[in-house]
Each structure stands twice: as C-alpha cells, then as structure tokens.
Amino acid sequence: MNSFFQEKHPSINRFEQMLKTNKVLFFDGIEFENIILHYIDLGKFNLAKKALAIGMDQHPKNIELMLLKTEILLFEGAYKDAEELLVEIEILSPENEEIYVQRASILSKKKKHSLAIALLYKALTVTENPAEINNLIGNEYLFIGNFNKAKEYFIKCVNENYEDYQSLYNLLYCYEKLKQKKEAIVFLKKFIDLDPYNEIAWHQLGKLYVNSNQIDKAMSAFDFSIISNESYSSAYIEKGKLLEKTGHDLEAIKNYQISSKLNNPNAFISHRIGLCHLKLGNSKLAMKFFEESIQLEPNHEKSWIDLINLLQKNNELIKSQLYVKRSLEVNGDSVELWKKSAEINFKIKFYHDVCVACENIDCLGNHSLKTWKFWLDSMIYLKNWNSAHEIGLKATKLFPNNSSILLRIAGCKIRLGKKKEGHNLLKETIKRNNITNLMRKKIKLFFPEFFNFNL
C-alpha cells in the first residue's frame, strides 16, 4: 500500500483495519467511492467488490456507488445485470449522463455502435464535460469505419484540450485512413500556432513531412520537437531514422544514443545503431549492437537475421548455423529464420536439418520455389527417393510446369524402378522446356544416367 495515499485518504487504512476484525465501521458515500476506485486502480477487484457490497448495505440508494457497481458488472461481462441496475438508477436520477454512457458501453460491447452513438448524443445534452463524451463518440465512429465523423469529434477534443494526445493520435489516424496528408499537415500547423512548444505535434508533423518526402521540413520539425522538450526521446529516434535515410549515419548514431540515454536501451535502437555501423563498414561494431539488441529482446527477428547475414558474409557458416538454431528457439514461427536455417544447413550439407526447416516453412504457409528445391535436393542427397518423389509431386501442385522440379521427379522415378515413367517424363520435360546450362549440370550431378539423354 502506498503510505502517502493512506495519509491523504485515511479511510483506506480504516477500511483495511476493519477487514482484520469482525466489526463493521461506518463510512460515508464519498469515502466508499474513493476506497472502491483505489482498489480498481490497483486491479484488486475482489477488495473493490467487498467494499462495494458493504457500501451498498450502508448506502443502498447512493447513485455513485450504484454506477460503480454497473462498471464492475460491465467489466465482468454481466451486461443484463448492469442494464437492470441502470434502469433502477434512471428512476432515481433520470438526467445522469453516466446512465447514457454506460448503456452506450453495453451496446458498443455488443457491436451495436450506431445505437451506442445515439445514446452518447443524448449524454451530450446533459453533460458538463463534453470532451469525454466527444472522445467516446469519436471512438464509436472509428469502430464502424466512419473516419470523417470520427475526425470531426476528435478535432473537438483536441481543440478543447491541447494535451489530449490520445485524441490527437486518433485524429491523425483518421487523416491517414482518409489519405488526407495535406489536410493533416494543415491541421497540425494551426495546432502548433496555438501551442508552439508542443513536442508531440512537432514530432507528428515531422513524420507527415517524411511521408510526403519533404525531407528538409521534416528535419526542422524534429529539431523543433527537441527544442520544445529536450527529453522527448521519440523525436531523436525519428530524426535518427531520417538521418539514416539521407546517408548521415554518424549523426544518426548520435541521435539514437541520446534517445537510449533518455530511456532504457531497447532492441530497436541497438538494431538501428548496428545497421548504421554496418553501412559505415564497421562490421565488428555492427555485430556488437546486433548481439546487444538480441540480449535486450531475444525474439527481435530483424537483429537475428542481420547478425546471421553478417556471419554468412564473413563465411562463418558453422557459427551462423549455431545462431540460426538459437534464434529459432525464441522465434519458432519466423518464416525468414527457417529460410535462413534451410539455406545455411544446405551449404554445410546438414541435409536432415534442411528438411526440418523446409517442413516448418511449409507448415507456416510459405511456399517459395527455392524452399521446395532445397527440400527436394536434400532428400535426393540423402538418397531418400520415396520422400523426394513425394515432395516433388507436392511441389508440382504449386509449380505445375517447372522444369527443374519435373526433371528431379523423373530422376526419382528411375531410381525407384519406374524407368519407363521416368524416361517419358524426362523426354516430355526436355521437349517442352528450355533447359538452362546450370540446370543441366545440377540434374546430371544428381542423376549421371541422364547423360544418355539430350540434356
């Protein structure tokens, strides 16, 4: 328990002392309201419900406590009970805006968004806090994909409260969905005129300029965001990304490092710094930051891939195979990492591991021709002719006229004793397709007997 909170709200302390005894102490309605909200904020719903039950016993017709009960019922998904209680509240306090808000919440959860909006319009007629209701209306319009109407209400929210950043983000999302970049820029410039040191507005304006390919304006916007708040790390990150894009990698690194000092280091920043060093030719430093990124976030797929690519480039195949194996322990659903596994294991002739990788790629729904070739060739190298033949036939369902697959199937048929079928398929494939020199060499390596044919 936060001792400062208890000193300011001694009712919390009294209530918890009461729970340790069999005595029931009296609290007024406001005290119960504070106690319940306190436990809800802490996520202690059992204590919140216990306080609510005692509070309702002592104050059975207290509107605020009844409304808190409906909130808890809504949280638990008991919509029917919540609706029944709201009917009772409406009789006691017919002009209470919370009745409309909570009924709208029930309808929204039931995906009846148009009905929810109608109730929220009614709430607007009785509320003293229209900003909150406007936000709820905007969100309902988002749910039904009416971005123009949602935009209208989020503009109202932002105009009323410059620090309503959630509404600002939602507004910019509406502009994005409506493909209104210019309108979004115009709005943000007007917004900045009213609140010139709003770092978030400058930051968002910079991102819009980047998307509009107005690089100089974007850089200026990020600089103004930093001037407005030197500890706003997101501006340094976006400026770093833009510096990278324009080839100023050393400056980009400096901005990423500032951002990292302002917040705890994270995998994204370490990865970006690694990429900058890679472009600058600092392979060892790049590797260091890729490894740091992975330590910070073991399932950061991009860092694993870039680290493995770097090891491959340095011809450290055994080490890259070890890293691929480690990466898949935490990224087992990554198609790209399984592809890396297939590629590297094929190069070092670990054909059983290639087959495992290809099978996983197939199960994950990726069906590239290269993967099927790795799989088929590995089975051929393992002289597992039945499996190779079966995999080849599966591949033809996706690539029905691919000559490299058909030639391999022909070879498998011959090795399985189906010589007539194999020879016929071989002749037909050669007749219908243009066989490249590279393909000729590959097939003759697998099946030397093909030398008897015009390959």
Residue 437 is predicted with a pLDDT of 76
Q: Model-level pTM? A: 0.78
The model's pLDDT over 10-67, given as tens digits with 9 standing for 90+, comes to 888 888 888 888 788 888 888 888 898 898 888 888 888 888 888 888 898 888 888 8
Nearest Cα neighbor of 110 from 150, 155, 86, 74 is 74
Measured from the Cβ of residue 92, the count of other Cβ atoms closer than 10 Å reads 12
Q: Do 116 and 105 form a contact (C-beta atoms < 8 A)?
A: yes
CA distances from 33 to 37, 42, 48, 98, 366 (A): 6, 14, 10, 15, 55
Question: Which residue has tokens 């060499």?
Answer: 441
Query: Identity (one letter) of the amino acid at 58?
Result: Q
The model's pLDDT over 370-413, given as tens digits with 9 standing for 90+, comes to 999 999 999 999 999 999 999 999 999 999 989 999 999 999 99
Give 316: exposed, middle or buried? Use CB within 10 Å, 0-12, 13-18, 19+. middle
Angle between helices 369-381 and 385-398 (to 10 degrees): 170
Task: Give the span between the Cα atoms of 350 and 384, in whole angstroms.
Answer: 14
Residue 214 φ then ψ, to 5°: -100, 75
Residue 139 φ then ψ, to 5°: -65, -40
Task: Locate 195 and state its tokens.
Answer: 């609140």
Task: Give the span between the Cα atoms of 455 and 443, in whole angstroms.
Answer: 9
- HSE-CB for 8 with a 13 A CA cutoff: 6
3-state secondary structure 167-186: HHHHHHHHHHHCCCHHHHHH
Q: Do 259 and 269 form a contact (C-beta atoms < 8 A)?
A: yes
Residue 455 is predicted with a pLDDT of 52
How does pLDDT run along the chain (455 residues), one tens digit per residue?
444 444 446 888 888 888 888 788 888 888 888 898 898 888 888 888 888 888 888 898 888 888 888 888 888 888 888 888 788 787 787 778 888 888 898 889 889 999 999 999 999 998 888 999 999 999 999 999 999 999 999 999 999 998 999 999 999 999 999 999 999 999 999 999 999 999 999 999 999 999 999 999 999 999 999 999 999 999 999 999 999 999 999 999 999 999 999 998 899 999 999 999 999 999 999 999 999 999 999 999 999 999 999 999 999 999 999 999 999 999 999 999 999 999 999 999 999 999 999 999 999 999 999 999 999 999 999 999 999 999 999 999 999 989 999 999 999 999 999 999 998 998 888 888 777 777 777 787 788 776 565 55
H-helix or E-strand spanning residue 63: helix 63-75
Domains of the chain: 264-366 (1.25.40.10), 370-455 (1.25.40)
Nearest Cα neighbor of 292 from 236, 235, 331, 300 is 300
Nearest Cα neighbor of 379 from 401, 361, 357, 364 is 357
Measured from the Cβ of residue 145, the count of other Cβ atoms closer than 10 Å reads 10
Task: Give the span between the Cα atoms of 52 and 62, in whole angstroms.
Answer: 11
Nearest Cα neighbor of 272 from 256, 295, 292, 251 is 256
